[in-house]
Amino acid sequence: MSQKIVKIRDTEVGGDNPIFLITGPCQLESLEHARMMAEKIAEACEPTNTRFVFKASYDKANRSSIGTQRGLGVEKGLQILGDIAREFDVPVITDVHEPSHCAIAAEVVDVLQIPAFLCRQTDLLVAAGETGKVINVKKGQFLAPWDMGNVAAKIASTGNENIMLCERGTSFGYNTLVTDFRGLPTMAETGYPVVFDATHSVQQPGGKGNSSGGQREFAPVLARAACAVGVGGLFIETHEDPDNAPSDGPNMIPVDQMADLIANLRAFDALNKAG
């Protein structure tokens, strides 16, 4: 099956196009922090002319504990994302957790992201699809790769085929995830571009009791493997001080390491797509 090309502003995703990045801090902290992160990410991407979509969530509704930080909320969060989109002339993406948020978020962001835990919620998928925006839907930790065909079909039922399918690891016992790289070409058989989430594939869900742990040292390893197999894009969260980030710190790459990592990943991607 030929692969659809999804367009995010002027960036074409899928086929033999170079990988793009979905990258940024897990959770919005402030306009000043988002602005600083966007500037550092742009600098990291510039040497290889790598396109990126700035990612940060205004609400982390699926945190491990009631006591952990959820974010700035929809109104303030979307205002910040809109400011970043205009100031840096980059596309932006955020998670949506409720059908009622889809149309609101779509007024600001270029891509709506469906969290893995919610990837079978029909009303949410349909509401996201009805916005006409690009939808990045994460494969649930509990799903087989071939199950994502049904997920994509729910979105496509709205007439919107601007869909990307995102691999983020599969549950492997308690508090552990594993990545089956056979899943990348399997999901690509749907015809939609595949994104590999290196950040959450190394997460240890609930591994710290009231928060998730992770092994960020393996994120670059899995990202390289994904590029070698072949993907349309990579999801890699980053932060200037991951150990003190409010969410998913153990999985995030320090932003000062991103330029070298991006150059390395682009080389793997080019080698794969040259063949």
Q: How many CB atoms lie within 10 A of CB 196?
A: 28
In three state form, how does the secondary structure of the chain look? Answer: CCCCCEEECCEEECCCCCCEEEEECCECCCHHHHHHHHHHHHHHHHHHCCCEEEECECCCCCCCCCCCCCCCCHHHHHHHHHHHHHHHCCCEEEECCCHHHHHHHHCCCCEEEECHHHCCCHHHHHHHHHCCCEEEEECCCCCCHHHHHHHHHHHHCCCCCCEEEEECCEECCCCCEECCCCHHHHHHCCCCCEEEEHHHHCEECCCCCCCCEECHHHHHHHHHHHHHHCCCEEEEEEECCHHHCCCCHHHCEEHHHHHHHHHHHHHHHHHHHHC
Mean pLDDT (whole number) for 174-187: 95
pLDDT at 37 over 90: yes
Mean pLDDT (whole number) for 15-32: 97
pLDDT at 241 over 70: yes
The model's confidence at residue 3, banded by pLDDT at 50, 70 and 90, is confident
Structure confidence at residue 134 (pLDDT): 98
pLDDT at 206 over 80: no
Structure confidence at residue 66 (pLDDT): 53
Mean pLDDT (whole number) for 79-83: 98
Structure confidence at residue 175 (pLDDT): 87
Average pLDDT, rounded, for the chain: 93
Percentage of the chain exceeding pLDDT 90: 84
Mean pLDDT (whole number) for 206-222: 76
Mean pLDDT (whole number) for 78-104: 97
Structure confidence at residue 247 (pLDDT): 83
More confident site: 249 or 170: 170
Compute CA 145 distance to the chain's CA centroid, rounded to the nearest angstrom. Answer: 17
Cα–Cα distance list, 47 to 16, 113, 155 (Å): 20, 28, 36
Structure confidence at residue 128 (pLDDT): 98
CB 216 within 8 A of CB 204: no
pLDDT at 210 over 80: no
pTM higher than the cut 0.85: yes
- 262 token code pair: 């991006």
Give per-residue pLDDT as tens, 95-148. Answer: 999 999 999 999 999 999 999 999 999 999 999 999 999 999 999 999 999 999
